[in-house]
Structure formats: C-alpha cells, structure tokens
Amino acid sequence: MARRLLGLPWIVLVGMMAGVGSGLQIVINTWPVTNSTRAAWNTLLNNGSAVDAVVSGCSQCEADQCRGAVGANGSPDEEGETTLDAMIMDGFSMDVGAVGCLRRVKSAIAVARAVMDHTQHTLMVGDLATKFALEMGFSETNLTGNRSLDKWKDWKSDNCQPNFRERVIPNPRQHCGPYRPQEMDAFDDPTYFSNNLPTDSNPILDIDNHDTIGMIAIDQSGNVSAGTSTNGLTFKIPGRVGDSPIVGAGSYAMNGAGAAAATGNGDIMMRFLPSYNAVSQMLSGTDPTTALQRAMAPIIKYYPTFRGAMIAVNMRGKYGAVCHGYTNWTFCVADDTAPEVQLHYIDCKNSMKTVNSANTHNYQTNVYLIIFIISTSII
C-alpha cells in the first residue's frame, strides 16, 4: 500500500512534465536586446518549438554581437582571444547541450544544440568542442575583431588592469604576467591584501563586461526551453568557463514547472545553481518572483557585493525578475497578450526587499523533509 500511495504523485508529475498543450506562448530574455526577443517570438508564431525559439533568439544576439558581450568580437581574454559559452535545455525531454570556451566558431548556441541533438553528452569544451562543431558542418573563423583587439591592446598598455589574478607575483594590481604563486609567508605582510586585491573604487566587474543573454520560451504545445549565450568575462584568464553553459546555473527548464535564467558574475552565481533552485521551487507551486528571490538570497548572503540578475516564468506564463548590485535592470517579454516586444525595468534594491533569511531556511527545511519522506517510504 505504501508503494502505491508513493507512486501516485509521480504519475501526476509525469503527466505535468509531458506538456499540456495550453496554447500559451511566451518569450522572455535578459537585457534590452529586443531583436533577439523578436526573432524568438517569430519562430514561435511560425510553429517552431520552444527549443527552436531559444536557439533563434540567442543566435540573433550572437549575430548582432549584442552589448559586445555575446558572440564574436567582444570580451577578449588575457591573450586577446574571444571564446564563447552557450547552453540549450529542453524542458520536455530534459536533454541539454552545452559548449564552454568554444574557439573559432561563431554560432555557439547552435553548436550547443548539436551537442544535444547528435551526442549523448551534455557539455563539450575548448578545441575539441571546435573539432566537433566542424564535424557537424560549422565553419571555423577568427572570433577576434577590431573592437576586441583594440580593447585588449589598451588593457595591455595599462599594465593589464583590471584582471582576475589573486595571490600571485608580480603584483597583479600593478603588472602584467607571467605570474607565479605568491609564497604563503607573504600573507603575513599586512599590506599584501590591500596591494593585491581589487577595491570597490576599481571593480573588476561592471554592467558592460559580463552580460549573458538568457532566454526562456514556451510553445503552443506547452513545452518550455531555456538557453544562454555569452563571450564571458572581459580579460578572463584563458580557459575560464562561466555559469552560462552549466546546467542549473546559467539556466534550467522543466515542463510542469517552468524555467529560469541568470546573468551576472557567473563565477559566483554558479556556486549556488540559482536557476535550478528557482525552477525547483516553482515546481512546488511557488510564484516566479518569490522563487527567484529565494534563489538569489543565499548568493547575496555570502557575496553581498556581487552583481547579477535572474528571470523566470512558470507554465501559466506568469513571469518575474530580480537583480542585485545594479541600480536598475531591464528584460524583454513577448507573449500572446502583448505580442510586441515589451521592455520591463526593475529597481534592483526593491526587487529583493521581501526576502529574508527565514524564507531561505524554510525552503531548505522543506527540501530535506521531502527527501526523508521519499527515502523512508521506499525502504
């Protein structure tokens, strides 16, 4: 009897995840990149799937090199090279394709889809991801352009400031590399940290050097998809991969629950899997805004000066957004009620006002309780 009772909720859940064919359609994405929203929305209007829409929307952003932070000719690393990260997730099948540190191929989100469609893998990286892309028919090209090259040259001439090195010599706040680890006894010097670590007056990150397009779509069949594309942090250490291609960090989608996507300081945000967190809460009935607030709260607790933003939408088409570290932030929406692309502006300070530590604590307690009940019932 216990097994039969336990099985009932799972049957209901599978039914929810399969797609309900509600006819509701929506596209929502980070940042004021309306061309991308429009491209995705037009794909839905032409009977494309949610996955098709996210790929077309992110591809438009890559082609437009929007905000200089997506696609080619932007965000050079320490060696002056632009590399790309991208991910696509199908909320119907829970399949994912992702690429990290992709070199010399422009269409990162399309390559990510090829990983999803033509392999049993989830994430491919670096030169071997490029090799795979060429096998799939993509073209190899130089991702460095005049804009990114000029930015890199200016950075080099300014002693490689700012950069992401810590606890190395020579002093990364005054010199370029090559670097080597600082001996541990140097940490006894009271001036070491003040001389070697960034300050608020000279932040490494600002609003224009770490943008990601995160996009969510729901199609007429009631299926949801989410994806991301970015060229990562400006002047990142070569080989760095951010949150964008990491499942549950950059984005996450699940039929019956909804989807979420993130942008901002990915090195911090990926440590908390905020997109997965938000979708998990929507699955239990939490509204999108509250789910996002609760997903963002623990990041702020440990890293109060980080900068980031998130969007989410549930299967009824209700959406929300939160941000932290910016004064305000903008996202785009197109849906059946407002098919023309709408820009939404939010005040970052107010977007997180209703969250407190009790909310986060209660959510964690509920998760542990559910796991305990399931474990004991199976036994």
- Catalytic residue numbers? 212
For 89, the enclosing helix (H) or strand (E) is strand 84-90
Tokens found for residue 21: 């064919």
What is the rounded CA–CA span in Å between residue 108 and residue 125? 11
What is the rounded CA–CA span in Å between residue 274 and residue 297? 10
Q: Which amino acid, residue 353?
A: K
Report whether 301 contacts 277 (CB < 8 A): no
CA angle 196, 202, 203 (to 5 degrees): 95
Q: What is the C-alpha end-to-end distance of the chain, expressed in Å?
A: 13
What is the rounded CA–CA span in Å between residue 30 and residue 251? 11
Taking Cα atoms as reference points, which of 120, 308, 342, 129 lies closest to residue 214? 308
Q: Residue 21, Cβ neighbours under 10 Å: how many?
A: 11
What is the rounded CA–CA span in Å between residue 28 and residue 53? 11
Report whether 225 contacts 253 (CB < 8 A): yes
For 161, the enclosing helix (H) or strand (E) is none
Location of structure tokens 């197109």: 334
DSSP lists the bridge partners of residue 170 as none
